[in-house]
Amino acid sequence: MILKNLSLLQLHIGLTYKTQSSHKNKILELEHYKLKLDKLMNIEQKVQKALVHEESFFNIVSSHETILLSLRLKVRLRELRVSLIELQKQVIEYINKTLHKQHFFEHIIKLKEMKSSLEIKEKTNLLSLLEMQTTPLFMAKPLRMSTLLDTEEVYAFGFGEMVQKIRHIIPTKKVSVSKAEKLDESFLNEEESVQYLIDTDALHTEFLSANTDLFSFINEKDFIVQQNLEEKIKLYCQLALMYENEYEFSEKRMKIQEYEYLYITPKEIHEPA
């Protein structure tokens, strides 16, 4: 479940950095995902400490299956730790890049404001920097556009004769326009595949105001796309891992079909007697 949450965070972090247009909102969202990533790293460290604490048990246990399970878990944790560290570096890099771009655009906007108010020469050293520039500064070529002639020029003496001469000097070229091939109608009828993703943050917020336990809330929730029992159990585990500091884990166990689960409620809601 930690690995599954890690893959979801990778998806959300990449989408936020690529699609969020506002630098301020992008930084806030990336900081939010960085906190979630820190929670996952904290969970991984707790599991690692538990394994180290119980190492003597695994040394004397005679069950081959139990020993094999502990070894697989250690390997999985090692892989998880590497992935968490790499994703943490990526988030920090995204935040730094966004901060740099935000500072750059704020600087440009400030320069435009000073230019509009005719204060750029007095409040900046722009001219001295341009004089120190060793590489020539090339400006963009001016756009060519057609303009309307003044009425006085049109009716001036000899204007018509001058136009006739220019017509013969400058040859006119015919531009051949090639027609595109007919578009296959099947292209327009293709259905776009849409993947349904559950917003865990919104689901967590809704659960905090619900007067029930976590699994009952998820089990009775009317999702846009119907979720089967296994998907609901995965979602239950996902929320319990991501928001453990905000939930109260009771020792009481409930059962649904062949599965057992802990009775989990928000910390401000106590378990009913």
SS3 of 169-199: the string is HCCCCCCCCCCCCCCCHHHHCCCCCCCCCCC
pLDDT tens track for 59-96? 777 778 887 888 888 888 888 888 888 888 888 988 88
Task: Give the separation between CA 245 and CA 200, rounded to whole angstroms.
Answer: 15
Beta bridge partners of 265: 248
pLDDT tens track for 99-123? 888 888 777 787 777 777 677 677 7
pTM of model > 0.75? no
- Token look-up 């995902």 returns 33
Listed as ranges, residues in the chain with pLDDT below 50 are 183, 187-188, 190-194, 270-273
